[in-house]
Amino acid sequence: AFEEWNEWLLGILWLHGMIYLVEVCSRLIYQPNGWMLFIHHTIWFVLLYIAAQARSVFAIKLDFILDAYVNAEAGLFLALLFRRYSTNLKLRIRSTVFGAGIFLITRFPQIGMLLHLFIVSADRMWSGGTRDRAIFVVAIVFSTFLVGLQFYSLTIYINFYKSDLKMLRTHVSAGKKVGNDVEEMRDTTYMTTSALGEFDATDGAAGSAVERYTIRRGGTRRSSYDGEDSSSVEQSGASIDVDVDVYEA
């Protein structure tokens, strides 16, 4: 006999199933290639339908094991939220590591509970008739596929982590380069000012020149003009121009 408490458990599962249905329909609207999400939810609904239609206690236990560990996906949704709306790369990297780490750790007790259920129920389900054997085989195949999809989904977050880490290293490297360029410009300006003092103390200024330093993200451009002669060395990048007058003896 199908006990009354199992009816309540089925009701809870169907309630969660409605949330799943809303999620998959809404996400497929702006994510047409979300085949993995669609397959994942479809398989879960098939297992839920088997539990409700066959009134199988084994199927309900299976659904609850799979459904309970969905809560561990909260960290992954948080990581996606930060990735979409935050420009803080360190925050995005930490949230990805935290979410993926919790999700990975919880897969192992889930697998342990599934194996225990299959081993304990094997004799009873296999000797229970054609229907029970069919439910048992479908449960093994679909559960294996679902767990495989869960591990495959981690590769998406690994790619997120690598992408954000690469961007962070690029920004840090660019910041150090700009800092070095600024220090180089300051040192050169100091040396030019010292030379100017020496010229004024001896023969005075006999000519003039302008040295322009352009601070760039990718380097420094220095252009020197002296009468009709000119020379320049350039590198690419956004720039800020600073002119320094130099008087030559």
Instruction: Judge if 24 and 129 occupy the same domain.
Output: yes
Residue 19 sits in the same domain as residue 136: yes
Question: In the chain, what is the straight-line distance between the N-terminal and C-terminal CA atoms, in Å?
Answer: 109
Tell me what pLDDT residue 234 has.
Answer: 41
User: What local confidence, expressed as pLDDT, does residue 218 receive?
Assistant: 44
Q: What is the mean pLDDT of residues 23-50?
A: 70
pLDDT of residue 74: 84
When pLDDT is cut at 50, 70 and 90, the band that residue 249 belongs to is very low
Here the contacts of 234-241 (C-beta below 8 Å, separation 24 or greater) are: 239/214, 239/215, 240/214, 240/215, 241/212, 241/213, 241/214
Give me the pLDDT at residue 13, please: 67
Confidence of residue 9 (pLDDT cuts 50, 70, 90): low
Of the given ranges (19-23, 59-63, 132-136), which has the lowest mean pLDDT? 19-23
This model's pTM is above 0.85: no
pLDDT of residue 221: 42
With pLDDT > 70 as the criterion, what percentage of the chain qualifies?
Answer: 56
Mean pLDDT of the chain: 71
Domain count, the chain: 2
CA–CA dist 66, 61 (Å, integer) = 9
Domain that holds residue 51: 4-175
* Listed range (8-17, 46-55, 60-69, 109-118) with the worst mean pLDDT: 8-17
Q: For residue 198, tell me if it sits in a domain.
A: no
Do 37 and 83 have their domain in common? Answer: yes
At 229 the pLDDT is 41
Q: Do 170 and 213 fall into the same domain? A: no
pLDDT of residue 23: 66
Instruction: State whether 170 and 229 are in the same domain.
Output: no
Residues 56 and 159 reside in one and the same domain: yes
Q: Which of 24-28, 140-144, 179-183 has the lowest mean pLDDT?
A: 179-183
Structure tokens at 106: 């919880």
State the Cα–Cα distance between residues 165 and 76, nearest whole angstrom: 17
Checking if the pLDDT of 212 tops 60, the result is no
pLDDT value at residue 91: 92
- Comparing 26 with 184, which gets the higher pLDDT? 26
